[in-house]
Amino acid sequence: MFERCYDSPVANITPIRQRPQALEFFAGIGLARIGLEAAGFKVAWANDYEPDKHAMYAAHFNDGPDHTYVVGDVGKVAAADLPSASLAWASSPCTDLSLAGSRAGLAGKESNAFWLWVNILRDMEERAPEVVVLENVIGLATSHGGEDLRSAIRALNDIGYSIDLLSMDARRFVPQSRPRMFLVGTKNPPAEDERSLASELRPDWAQNFYGDESLRMHRAPLPEPPAFLLEGFGKVVETMPMDDERWWDADRTNAFVRSLSPTQRERVIQLRKSAGVKYRTAYRRTRNGVPVWEVRADDVSGCLRTARGGSSKQAVVRLGNGRLKVRWMTPLEYARLMGAGDFNLSGARNNQALFAFGDAVAVPAVEWLASKYLMPLLNGTLGSATRTEVLASAR
């Protein structure tokens, strides 16, 4: 929905179109908001149930009375209390859907918040936003043999939305491997043409859902997304003196090396011997009941996760010129890997920040989707905008 405003009461003045408003469900620390607002939206309302995340959100945005953040259970949000909006964004809890979670699906204790969100949209009736987006982990596609995703699509179909199903990795924008699923629902789906049928953002597994005649689906024409980054983690590493106390001592570093598999250990030895400084990320996994460290071979971070306990956190490994140093990744590095390097971290506890960023959506992924799809969809220029980009790339 767009509001009109006028600079003066004089007749025949051309109206100025204001930024379309958005609602931000399961907002966390507001990374979706940063991406949406960079694309031209105005986030007027947000909700999350974790006070720690709200504290970081409030410190960063420092909102005035024109923005509302409701802290508490989404099930207690009343549709009548929501402002009118063109878009509803929901990064619903993925704990019961991700590979790191219980895989209980949408019936899980946390992930069933999706149904509460759908109920709110239903209760909004004719005031429901024209476009909705559900962001979640790729695991939703396989949860209970795909039935969870079908149920989610049907639920949105039942309240008037046609669904487009996209898979996008934040690695197209930042040096972090972070694949996520985006369900884009609209009351007014665009017409399909040959350009909308093939997109690398709609992987082969998605065709099972597009081919299901019981679902109301559409494929919007989209420009080609950026290619995957092959490097860049070293550029986001926080500058830190070699004698900083956050670097692990010799005993802990040696224990780290001993936990590596022979292949991993040889990789680390060769990188340590090489000229120049290189950075890699390491992640602790359990293999055959034994915790071990694994070091990535490339200059890209693994997927950031919610850091509750050491097994969820990533380490930074500094190698080269005959030296090896290891430490935990810092909140600033987490923020940079999420495309939010200027986020206000003052006052946030270390684990509070790591958990919040690991539980969020990457800013540039949201901005790309909002600027290339959501905004053109709302203003009726989706097809023409895509054709312009295709022609430009062909020159």
* Cα–Cα distance measured from residue 308 to residue 352, given in angstroms and rounded to the nearest whole number: 9
Is 155 in contact with 118 (CB distance < 8 Å)? yes
**Identity at 5, one-letter amino acid code:** C
**What CA–CA distance (Å, rounded) separates 338 from 174?**
7
**Across the strands, what pairs with 314?**
283
Contacts 24+ apart (CB under 8 A), 195-200: 195/221, 195/386, 195/387, 195/390, 196/220, 196/221, 196/222, 199/166, 199/224, 200/224, 200/225
Q: Is 175 exposed, middle or buried (0-12, 13-18, 19+ CB in 10 A)?
A: buried
Q: What is the β-pairing status of strands 42-48 and 21-25? A: parallel
What tokens were used for 149?
A: 């995703």
CB–CB of 5/15 below 8 Å? yes
Are 320 and 275 a contacting pair, CB within 8 Å? yes
- Which one of the listed residues 27, 39, 82, 94 is annotated catalytic? 94
- Catalytic, 94? Answer yes
Would you mind telling me the total number of residues written for the chain in this entry? Answer: 395
Catalytic positions are 94
